Amino acid sequence: MIDVMIISILEFSPILIIAGMGQLLSQKSGVYNLGIEGIMTSGAVFAVLAFFLGLGSWESLLFGTFIGLIFGALLFILSEKFKLDQIVIGFGIWFLSLGVANALFATVLSGEGLTLARFEPLIFSLNPMVFFAFALVAIFIYIYSKTNFGLSVIAVGEDPKVADTSGINVERIRGISVIVGSGLIGLAGAYFAVHVLQGFTYVMLSGYGWVAFAIVLFARWRASYVLFGSLFFTAITTIVTRLNILGITLLPLTFMGYLPHIAVLVGLTLTMIFGKKSGMPAALGTPYKKEEK
Q: What's at 150, amino acid-wise?
A: G
- Using CB under 8 A as the binding rule, whether residue 276 contacts another protein is answered as no
CA dist., res. 103 & res. 82, Å (int): 29
- Using CB under 8 A as the binding rule, whether residue 250 contacts another protein is answered as no
Nearest to 65 by CA among 191, 157, 165: 191
To the nearest whole angstrom, how small is the minimum distance from the Cβ of residue 4 to another protein? 27
Q: What's at 204, amino acid-wise?
A: M
- Alpha carbon 179 to its chain centroid, in Å, reads 13
Q: How many chain residues touch another protein (CB under 8 A)?
A: 48
How does DSSP assign 250-282, residue by residue?
SS-HHHHHTHHHHHHHHHHHHHHHH-------T
To the nearest whole angstrom, how small is the minimum distance from the Cβ of residue 119 to another protein? 28
- Using CB under 8 A as the binding rule, whether residue 34 contacts another protein is answered as yes
User: Residue 54 region, left (φ>0) first, then alpha (ψ -120 to 50), else beta?
Assistant: left
Q: Which of 52, 66, 91, 131 binds another protein (CB under 8 A)?
A: 91
Which residues between 196 and 235 bind another protein (CB under 8 A)?
A: 206-207, 210, 213-214, 217
CA dist., res. 83 & res. 289, Å (int): 7
Q: Which of 67, 78, 190, 240 binds another protein (CB under 8 A)?
A: 78
To the nearest whole angstrom, how small is the minimum distance from the Cβ of residue 283 to another protein? 11
Q: Contact region for another protein (CB under 8 A) — 121-129, 155-163, 191-199, 266-274?
A: 266-274
Nearest to 144 by CA among 108, 184, 173, 115: 173
To the nearest whole angstrom, how small is the minimum distance from the Cβ of residue 183 to another protein? 19
Q: List residues near another protein by CB under 8 A.
A: 32, 34, 78, 82-85, 87-89, 91-103, 105-108, 206-207, 210, 213-214, 217, 252, 254-255, 257-258, 261-262, 264-265, 268-269, 272-273, 280, 285
